[in-house]
Chain A
Amino acid sequence: MTAVFTAFKEAGLASLVAFLLALPLIGFRTNTTGTGLNFEFRWEALVVSVVIVFVGRCVLTSTRGLWQQSRLHLPSFGYLRSVIDRRRVSFAVIVVLVALLFPFMPEVDRRAIDLATLVLIYVMLGWGLNIVVGLAGLLDLGYVAFYAVGAYTFALLGTVYDWSFWGCLPIAGAVAAMFGVLLGYPVLRLRGDYLAIVTLGFGEIIRVVLTNWVALSGGPNGIAGIPRPTLFGLEFTRRTREGHSFHEYFDLPFSGDHRITFLYYVILILALVTNVFVLRIRKLPIGRAWEALREDEIACRSLGINPVNTKLSAFALGAMFGGLAGAFFASRNGFISPESFTFIESAIILSIVVLGGMGSQIGIVLAAAALILLPEALREFSEYRMLVFGLAMVLVMLWRPRGLLAHRKPTLTLYPSGSRTLK
């Protein structure tokens, strides 16, 4: 009896909240008429939404026990995980093969390749930020600043001095890393929330400077005419000054798809390099020191690890990959402006890392694909896009609070996995 009562009480409260929220949000609708705007009061919609909340809450309360039991049996990635663990190498090889052959698969058109390129940019950014957030445990809310620094470095060198993409790529990475050190040195003494706020501020400062320093960055108008990447000097244009274009050299008819495909491979290679780098460095002393710092900074100091330098190296390397991705982004778009580097970008990259499961490389791929493709797929329902996006995030965090594939593999083991006999 009391159970029924509490169920009704909770449902009543929930529907009251729903009513208060729905009254302004759903209850009123503005219509444009010949003479101007008028309000329409949609009481049916209001009633329907309150009833849905009431019934939904009742059902949820009464099945709570069931839900909690079934929670354990909900599909988790356990199975996938075990497959991945057992044949880790072959799984990675399959993923890379699929990625390599992707542009030549049937049904894959220009738009799909372009989207895949975008996803890969975020995968690379996620892997870069993973060094800072996932491994070193430093919450960086301004990662987009380094992305912007890389993009503007290349955009300026490319448009002012006509330097090529490949020549500028290491410079963009180095400049971004330098900014990482400059920012990191004063702020890495801060912890947790403080660090997050300072990095957030830094991200905004970079954007504001880019917007206002018109002489350098072109201000809000941005920079256009950024050079495209070339394949050993071959350009992907219909006609070139020197007659060095890809289609002429290989005697192919000109097609815009060549460039799209080429860009896809460039970012695929950049992302794979990032991945190999992160996987390797995690197993080196510096990588283990990052993780140890994340676990306990005081213990690290008692073991002779210099915390400031170690954190700085994580910050600088993370920034470097952000800068490389930024240079690619500038080159791919041919045009950049401060609008591409707003806080929401930092938030998306951070969500990719957190959602993917901090420290998990393949989880980041899944999360990047989900976070970039989901809004694309929901384009038709653009009104509800953010709503669904938010709902998906909340559900994932409820279902897997530590991220999709949070599972830490030791960097060295004495025993082959699962056994206790020496190798």
Chain B
Amino acid sequence: MTINELLRVEHLTMRFGGLVAISDLSFSAAQGEITAIIGPNGAGKTTVFNCLTGFYKPTVGRLTFTVQGKQPVYLERMDGFRIARAGIGRTFQNIRLFPAMSVLENLIVAQHNELMRASLFSVAGLLGLSRYYDAENEAIELAKKWLDRIGLISDADRQAGELPYGDQRRLEIARAMCSKPALLCLDEPAAGLNRNESGALNELLRDIRDTQGIGILLIEHDMSVVMNISDHIVVLDYGQKISDGFPTVVRHDPRVIRAYLGEEEDYDVDAVQPGLPC
């Protein structure tokens, strides 16, 4: 157990009718670390995220989320938007931006709750009180900082839906970061990126981990990304955890190799071309 454990998942089970998408999964994620969840298609990775962020109600399980200096909260029966307020930000496997809104607006909407409070639920905003404008300017500054970081500052006023795919992926991460989460959940952020973009993404994630002091939970298909940047890996197969530990340990775990490539026991993960999805 790490001292600064952020998230603890215990005995998580999710059934859809007869289908058991996750069965008895337990793991934990720590602050200041990148925890990767990997596994073949349909292993249940996205379902774990959906349980964590309140989009599915788990059949069984306890999900404890503890931000440093605050009371633990139990996510399994909370509404999605309350979980977000408690400090879990996420991105989606199939990008979900606000396509008709501008890039900047996407990042401002992410700061909705703070701005709403500053505008006294719109009253101060309608009256044009300076207290609201100060908060709005702060929000814009934060958005600018992230736009700079992901290299989209010159596209700030463009429609988010017009951006190229790779930029949309990064914008979604920046948007999640603007909601100031303590735990950032990324669902296959490298999917569909070329090798340059994928490299830049690694840099960005490491940078977020090191400078923001938050925990990152990362679903990834791309082995090269996972092995490179994660501090801790959880491997799922058919909804069950088959391995859990440091990347160096997991990559040589025979059960992992079998799950990824059938029975070829002598397969070495290093042989896989970086950038190729497994």
Measured between beta carbons, the chain B residues less than 8 angstroms from A299 are: 92, 96-98
Determine if B116 and A420 form an interchain contact, defined as CB atoms under 8 angstroms apart: no
Cβ A412 vs Cβ B112 within 8 A:
no
- Contact with A284, one of B79, B126, B176 (Cβ below 8 angstroms): B126
Interface residues of B in 23-72 (CB under 8 A from A): 53-55
- CB under 8 Å from chain A, chain B span 71-99: 79-82, 84-85, 89-90, 92, 96-99
Let me know if B115 is at the binding interface, CB within 8 A.
Answer: yes
Chain B residues with CB under 8 Å of A289's CB are: 109, 112, 116
- B170: CB under 8 A from chain A? no
A81 to B64, CA, bound (A): 54
Known: A299-B98, A414-B156. A288 touches B108 (CB 8 A): yes
Q: B179 within 8 Å of A by Cβ?
A: yes
Which of B179-201 touch A at CB < 8 Å?
Answer: 179
Q: Are A411 and B110 neighbours in the complex by a CB distance under 8 Å?
A: no
Task: State in angstroms the CA–CA spacing of A412 and B135 once bound together.
Answer: 14
Q: Which of B85, B105, B179 has the most CB of A within 10 A?
A: B105
Q: Is the CB of A420 within 8 A of B154?
A: yes
A280 to B179, CA, bound (A): 24
B101 CB contact (under 8 Å) in A277, A295, A302 = A295
Is the CB of A204 closer than 8 A to any CB of chain B?
no
Interface contact B104-A410, CB-CB below 8 Å? yes
Q: How large is the interface on B (under 10, 10 to 19, 20 to 34, 35 or more residues)?
A: 35 or more
Option from B79, B85, B112, B157 in Cβ contact (under 8 Å) with A410:
B157
24 A–B contacts from the bound complex (CB under 8 Å): A280-B125, A280-B126, A285-B108, A286-B116, A286-B119, A286-B125, A288-B105, A291-B98, A298-B55, A298-B92, A301-B55, A301-B80, A302-B89, A302-B92, A303-B175, A304-B85, A305-B112, A306-B81, A410-B104, A411-B105, A413-B104, A414-B104, A414-B153, A417-B157
Q: Please, which residue of chain A has its CB at the minimum distance from the CB of B160?
A: A295
A219 — which chain B residues lie within 8 A by C-beta? none
Q: In the complex, are the beta carbons of A296 and B98 less than 8 A apart?
A: yes
- In the complex the two chains form, is B105's CB within 8 Å of A277's CB? no
Judge whether A415 is part of the interface by a CB distance below 8 angstroms: yes
B53:A281 contact, CB within 8 angstroms: no
Are A296 and B97 neighbours in the complex by a CB distance under 8 Å?
yes
Check: A307 CB closer than 8 A to any chain B CB: yes
With a cutoff of 8 Å between Cβ atoms, the chain A residues found around residue B113 in the complex are 304-305
Q: Is the CB of A285 within 8 A of B122?
A: yes
Whether, in the assembled complex, A198 has its beta carbon less than 8 Å from a beta carbon of chain B, the answer is no
A415 contacts across to B, CB distance below 8 A: 156-157
Pick the residue among B81, B97, B112, B154 that contacts A285 (CB under 8 A): B112
Give the residue of A281, A298, A411 whose beta carbon is less than 8 angstroms from that of B96: A298
Cβ-neighbour of B105 out of A281, A284, A298, A410 (below 8 A) = A410
Contact A307 to B81, CB < 8 A, known contacts A298-B96, A302-B53:
yes
CB of A318 to closest CB in B, whole Å: 15
Q: Is the CB of B156 within 8 A of A304?
A: no
Residues A284 and B122 in contact in the complex (CB < 8 Å), given A295-B100, A304-B85: yes
A295: contacting residue among B54, B98, B175, CB under 8 A: B98
B61 to A: closest C-beta gap in Å:
20
The answer to whether B102 has its CB under 8 Å from any CB of chain A is yes
CB pair B157 A414 closer than 8 Å: yes
Asked whether A305 and B81 contact (CB < 8 A) given A292-B109, A413-B102, A415-B156, the answer is yes
Cβ proximity bits A251-267 to B, threshold 8 Å, 1 near / 0 not: 00000000000000000
Which of A277, A306, A307, A412 is the one whose CB lies under 8 Å from B108?
A412
Having A302-B80, A302-B90, one finds 5 other A-B pairs with CB under 8 Å, namely A285-B119, A288-B101, A288-B105, A303-B112, A413-B102
State whether B84 touches A302 (Cβ < 8 A). Answer: yes
Asked if A304 contacts B99 (CB within 8 A), the reply is no
Which positions 134-164 of chain B face chain A at CB distance < 8 Å? 136, 140, 144, 153-154, 156-157
A408 at the interface (CB under 8 A from B): yes
Chain A contacts for B153, CB-based, 8 A: 414
- The answer to whether A408 and B100 have CB atoms under 8 Å apart is yes
Residue of B54, B80, B112, B157 near A413 (CB, 8 A) is: B157
CB distance A412 to B104 under 8 Å? yes
Q: Whole-angstrom distance between the alpha carbons of A306 and B116 in the complex?
A: 12
Known contacts A285-B112, A304-B84: A412-B105 contact under CB 8 Å: yes
In the docked arrangement, what's the CA distance between A412 and B126, Å? 16
Question: A317: nearest residue on chain B (CB-CB)?
Answer: B122
Provide the bound-state CA to CA distance between A302 and B81, in Å: 6
Q: State A168–B156 Cα separation when bound (angstroms).
A: 46
Set of chain B residues within 8 Å of A301, measured between Cβ atoms: 54-55, 79-81, 84
- Which chain A positions have C-beta within 8 A of B53? 302
Q: Which residues of A are found within 8 Å of B115, using beta-carbon distances?
A: 285
Smallest CB separation, B65 vs chain A (Å): 14
**Residues on the A chain within 8 Å of B79, using CB:** 301
Nearest CB of B to A204, in Å: 32
When chains A and B are docked, how far (Å) is the Cα of A302 from the Cα of B109?
11
Given contacts A285-B115, A288-B108, contact A304 B122 (CB under 8 A): no
**Of the residues A281, A291, A414, contact of B126 by C-beta under 8 Å:** A281
Taken residue by residue from 264 to 277, chain A's Cβ proximity to chain B (1 for < 8 Å, 0 otherwise) reads as 00000000000001
Give the residues in chain B near A307, CB-CB below 8 Å: 81
3 closest Cβ pairs, A-B complex: A304-B84, A295-B98, A285-B115
The docked-state distance in angstroms from the alpha carbon of A299 to that of B54 is 12
Q: Give the shortest distance, in Å, between A299 (CB) and chain B (any CB).
A: 4
A305 and B112 CA atoms in complex are apart in Å by 7
> A305 — which chain B residues lie within 8 A by C-beta?
81, 109, 112-113
